[in-house]
């Protein structure tokens, strides 16, 4: 963390009587940064700072994560129509409008007045005009209402996750009239926004007591089974989609009604039934999306899992997954059995991905044996063992509902056969025509078409059979100085030269008898002053 941010990153800051925390990437002075606002639910916690941080998104996408910390003592912020006395807040009246929406205007002021000042003082380049937003549970409902008030102009993308209630009959905010609501709904539509809900989400944001009673929809919601809660939550989404339909036009509406492949309970679905009220002049927009986070009942209302789906939408994450790294170098020859291990490749980690592997030359699948780098796991390597490894996303892709997997990395671990002596490297003399120095490699066994000699010159590493490693582009990058011996080695300039050489003996039927196709000699090394 640069000095510009280290004194405030992770610290609780205050603005106009409300608190917030931020987290930025390292070396912030040398980067052009963007803002992600991460809004917590009824559990007022900095967990919503940790979720993007644990996935390293602040580094990957050059983000400063901003998390408002709304005080429950002022009321349940996500269902606010009145948040206490304005007089209780320093200068609070300047953010009070006719709806009584002090908290929503506070966030707008934080983004456009306070944070630009904070960053300018520290000479940090941050785009505060276009921000990303993520809200889960009650935070999703808060973000939904924020977009109704302040949508479109300053939002790059917003993800409203697990909101519980969306439609007008259950979330008409700020004492809006139906006319006001329709006007503000157009501001939301013009924003780039995704609604993300778990396929098994049975939670209800404002229902804390199952013994609640009353005639209103919210209290009745608390008195039903989890299955009914799930149904009513999806119904809220259905009705909200129906509210959008007259504004967007029928053709586009068809494209945003998107169902997951599996619902809980089995067989339930909520298609748009009433398609009347097609807009004569529909709003030209393709900004609104609905996505589902496939999950279990136990994780149905998970901020972490919903964020995984949301981040794919927010940051246009490429579905490409980097191959795992095999360590130590699998393409050098070893003298004795070793322990190998796997590491995550670029932009993958244990938070968002898992690694599987095989040692029987089968391509690893998501169900193959898992390798867990963080637990110090190793793979015992014997004679000529081949490791194949792949990385998979832990969570499913928001469009395909499948986990994304990498190509497989391959490592062929070879061991020197003690029965095969090292090759001999000799100086034969100078060429009479070119004056090149001529070196030759001689073997203690007959040279046949099944014998391959590899050498290098003045390399710290030993020669590698690049034909064997052809399935691993990285092996070729790591061993650029290995050459196949074709009868002699020519050196043009005088100097000191160290030659390293091995030979490989191909056994066409050896794998049937011994589990191996290759025998590899000991390493031959010799230094010449030419």
* Residue 511, domain CATH: 2.60.40
Average pLDDT over every residue of 181-209: 70
> What is the Cα–Cα distance from 502 to 333, expressed in whole angstroms?
9
Mean per-residue pLDDT over the chain, rounded? 75
Contact present, 198 and 306 (Cβ < 8 Å): yes
Residue 84 has pLDDT above 60, yes or no: no
Residue 349 has pLDDT above 70, yes or no: yes
The reply to whether 320 falls in a domain is no
Closest alpha carbon to 261 in 204, 214, 200: 200
Separation in Å, CA 105 to CA 57, 64, 100, 150, 163:
27, 20, 9, 8, 20
Of the three residues 415, 444, 462, the one that is the final residue of a domain is 415
Q: Which residue would you say has higher pLDDT here, 149 or 228? A: 149
Say if residue 366 is in the same domain as residue 223. no
> What is the Cα–Cα distance from 271 to 284, expressed in whole angstroms?
23
Say if residue 136 is in the same domain as residue 277. yes
Say if residue 462 is in the same domain as residue 369. no
Q: Could you tell me the residue range of the domain that residue 293 belongs to?
A: 3-314
Asked which of 40-49, 95-104, 221-230 is least confident by mean pLDDT, the reply is 95-104
pLDDT of residue 249: 62
Say if residue 376 is in the same domain as residue 467. no
Give residue-wise pLDDT tens across range 410-447. 888 888 988 899 999 999 999 888 889 999 999 999 88
Say if residue 288 is in the same domain as residue 140. yes
- Sign (positive or negative) of CA dihedral 203, 204, 210, 215: negative
Question: Percent of the chain beyond pLDDT 70?
Answer: 68
Average pLDDT over every residue of 35-42: 87
Looking up tokens 């007089």, which residue turns up? 87
pLDDT of residue 83: 36
- pTM: predicted TM-score of the whole model, two decimal places: 0.64
pLDDT of residue 395: 75
Say if residue 152 is in the same domain as residue 93. yes
Average pLDDT over every residue of 212-225: 42
The reply to whether 247 falls in a domain is yes
Q: Which residue would you say has higher pLDDT here, 113 or 152? A: 113
Contact present, 311 and 63 (Cβ < 8 Å): no
Q: Is 96 helix (H, G, I), strand (E, B) or coil?
A: coil
Residue 514 has pLDDT above 50, yes or no: no
Say if residue 411 is in the same domain as residue 428. no
How many other C-beta atoms lie within 10 A of the C-beta of residue 370?
A: 13
Average pLDDT over every residue of 208-216: 36
Q: Which residue would you say has higher pLDDT here, 169 or 259? A: 169
Q: What is the largest CA-CA distance in the chain?
A: 106
Say if residue 93 is in the same domain as residue 208. yes
Residue 105 has pLDDT above 90, yes or no: no
């Amino acid at each position: 963390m640069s000095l510009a941010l280290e004194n405030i990153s992770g610290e609780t800051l205050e603005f106009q009587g409300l608190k917030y925390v931020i987290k930025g990437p390292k070396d912030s002075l040398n980067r052009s940064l963007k803002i992600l606002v991460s809004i917590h639910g009824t559990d007022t916690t900095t967990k919503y700072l940790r979720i993007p941080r644990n996935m390293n998104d602040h580094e990957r996408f050059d983000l400063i994560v901003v998390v408002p910390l709304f005080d429950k003592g002022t009321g349940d912020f996500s269902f606010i129509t009145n948040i206490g006395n304005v007089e209780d807040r320093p200068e609070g009246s300047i953010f009070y409008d006719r709806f009584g929406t002090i908290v929503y205007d506070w966030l707008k002021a934080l983004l456009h007045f306070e944070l630009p000042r904070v960053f300018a003082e520290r000479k940090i380049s941050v785009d505060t005009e276009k921000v990303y937003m993520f809200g889960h549970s009650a935070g999703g409902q808060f973000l939904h209402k924020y977009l109704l008030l302040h949508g479109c102009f300053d939002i790059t993308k917003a993800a409203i996750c697990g909101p519980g209630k969306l439609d007008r009959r259950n979330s008409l905010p700020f004492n809006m009239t139906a006319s006001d609501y329709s006007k503000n709904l157009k501001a939301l539509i013009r924003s780039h926004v995704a609604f993300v809900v778990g396929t098994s989400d049975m939670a209800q944001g404002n229902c804390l007591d199952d013994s609640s009673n009353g005639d209103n929809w919210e209290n009745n919601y608390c008195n039903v089974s989890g299955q009914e809660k799930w149904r009513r939550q999806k119904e809220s989404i259905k009705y909200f989609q129906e509210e959008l339909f007259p504004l967007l036009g029928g053709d586009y509406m068809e494209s945003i009604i998107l169902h997951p492949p599996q619902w809980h309970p089995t067989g339930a679905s909520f298609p748009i039934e009433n398609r009347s009220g097609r807009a004569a002049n529909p709003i030209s927009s393709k900004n609104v999306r609905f996505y589902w986070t496939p999950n279990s009942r136990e994780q149905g209302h998970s901020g972490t899992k919903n964020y995984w789906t949301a981040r794919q939408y927010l940051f246009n994450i490429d579905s490409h997954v980097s191959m795992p790294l095999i360590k130590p170098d699998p393409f050098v020859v070893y003298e004795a059995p070793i322990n190998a291990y796997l590491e995550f490749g670029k932009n993958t980690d244990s938070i968002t991905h898992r690694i599987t592997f095989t040692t029987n030359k089968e391509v690893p699948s998501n169900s193959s044996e898992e390798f867990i780098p963080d637990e110090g796991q190793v793979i015992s390597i014997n004679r000529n063992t081949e490791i194949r490894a792949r990385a998979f996303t832990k969570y499913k892709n928001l469009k395909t509902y499948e986990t994304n997997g990498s190509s497989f990395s391959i490592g062929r671990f070879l061991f020197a056969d003690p029965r095969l002596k090292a090759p001999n490297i000799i100086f034969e003399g100078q060429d009479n025509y070119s004056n090149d120095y001529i070196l030759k490699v001689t073997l203690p066994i007959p040279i046949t078409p099944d014998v391959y000699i590899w050498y290098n010159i003045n390399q710290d590493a030993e020669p590698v059979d690049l034909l064997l490693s052809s399935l691993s582009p990285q092996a070729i990058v790591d061993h650029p100085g290995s050459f196949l011996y074709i009868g002699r080695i020519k050196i043009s300039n005088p100097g000191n030269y160290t030659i390293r050489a091995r030979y490989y003996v191909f056994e066409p039927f050896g794998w049937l008898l011994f589990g191996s196709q290759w025998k590899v000699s000991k390493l031959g090394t010799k230094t010449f002053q030419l």
